[in-house]
Structure formats: C-alpha cells, structure tokens
Amino acid sequence: MVDSNAADSTRERIVRAAKAEFAQHGIAGARVNRIAEAARTSKERVYSYFRSKEALYAFVVGQELAAMAEATRMDPADLPGYAGRLFDYYTDNPENFRLLSWGRLEAGTERRDPDGPIAHVLRGKVGQIRDAQAAGRLDPSWEPLDAIALVGQIAATWVSQPELAASGSADGFDVAARRAARGRAGRRLVPAPGRDEPEDR
C-alpha cells in the first residue's frame, strides 16, 4: 500500500475508471488492462491496491451503495417519498443501476452472505421499519422486507425494463409522467399515514 497524495489520486482514478468499466461490461467482461489505461497507470499498480478484479468490483459497489443511501435516505414514515428519491437517483445515475445489476446476475453466493455488508444494511432498514410500525408511523401490516423490496422495485420500474422505456412513444421517454406514475404507485402501496390516503383511490 502506497499512501502519498499522488498515490491516493492514482487510486481514485483507478476506482473511477473501474466504476465506468464495470457499469459497461460487468465483472466477467471488465478488463483490468482497460481500467489501468483509463486511469493512466499500470495493471500491476491496480493490483497493488486491489488484490483481484472481484475485490475491486466489491469496493466500487460498496462505495456506490453508500453514496446512494446517503443521497436517498430511507424515511420509514414516508416510503413513497423515499421511492421518489430512489427513482430520481436511478434516473440521474443509470450507470449506478447497471453497476449493481451486473453483480446481481454474476455474483454467486457472496452477495447472499448473511454477514456481508448488504445483509448488514438490510437488517438496519428492517429495524427502522419495525420501529416506525411500532410507533404508528407506517402501516404495520407489511412485512418489513416486503415493503423494502416493493419500494425498491417501484423505484426501479423504468431503469430495469429499458425495453418498455424505449417503446414509450414517438416523443421519447417522458420522465415527468413516469415519475408521477411511480409516485402514485408508491402512495397506493405504502401510504404515509395521515398524508396519502385521501388523495388516491
């Protein structure tokens, strides 16, 4: 491990280049040579920071998940609002969704590791939801994991079905209309008590 400022900036360039490479080609398809070239460094240097391509992918994903959580902040008392922020985040950062999707397809058991970072984050969210349900700030009839899963799906409606987005209309993809539909779906599914019920259905 080298840790001068110049070295840190090489590392940052590697991480940035890796993110673009993985989003485009996936894990198996990514080439460490191309990452090194885009980061203006050598393959050996990449391996001095990250022991393998898979370790580099795991690092990039962890960083992105943290950035996404920070940008979207789950509020269990307002899940439709959270779904809206996720929708906007995916719309603004389609590469992020691609980055995660490759891992879902390619990674085997590691992403299902009950002690791994993803499981840890999920347990935190489940706890937040249970607390909000106990405090009467969220419909208690949803299993917390179902609520998280459904909100995630609604938010990803368009990024995960690109063939639907593309077939939209001759005018192209209307983000505002899709966001409105997503919002309506969120309010129907997981209404924020005292806020959403009257306006829908």
Cα–Cα distance for residue pair 24/3, rounded to 1 Å: 29
Q: How far is the CB of 135 from a second copy (least distance, A)?
A: 21
Summarize as ranges the residues that interact with a second copy (CB under 8 A): 25-26, 28-29, 98, 101-102, 104-106, 111-112, 114, 118-119, 122-123, 142-143, 145-146, 148-150, 152-154, 156-158, 160-164, 166-168, 177-178, 181, 185, 188-189, 197, 201
Residue 137 parent element (H or E) = none
Q: How far apart are CA 201 and CA 198, in angstroms?
A: 8
Nearer to a second copy, 6 or 170 (CB): 170
Nearer to a second copy, 11 or 60 (CB): 60
Q: How far is the CB of 103 from a second copy (least distance, A)?
A: 9
* 70 vs 163, beta carbon nearer a second copy: 163
Measured CA distances, 133 to 78, 116, 129, 188 (Å): 12, 26, 6, 17
Which two three-digit tokens encode residue 158? 């368009």
Minimum distance of a second copy from residue 137's CB (angstroms): 18
Q: Residue 83: name the closest of 194, 189, 166 by CA.
A: 189
Residue with Cβ nearer a second copy (41 or 102): 102
Secondary structure of residue 128 in the 3-state scheme: helix
Which is closer to a second copy, CB of 11 or CB of 138? 138
- Residue 137 neighbours by CB distance under 10 Å: 17
User: To the nearest whole angstrom, how small is the minimum distance from the Cβ of residue 70 to a second copy?
Assistant: 19
For residues 126 and 159, what is the distance between their CA atoms, to the nearest angstrom?
A: 25
Which C-beta is closer to a second copy: that of 12 or that of 113?
Answer: 113
Kindly state the smallest distance separating residue 47's Cβ from a second copy, in Å.
Answer: 22
Rounded to a whole number of angstroms, the minimum distance from the CB of residue 74 to a second copy is 14
Q: Indicate the helix (H) or strand (E) that contains 14.
A: helix 5-29
As a whole number of angstroms, the distance between CA 179 and CA 48 comes to: 44
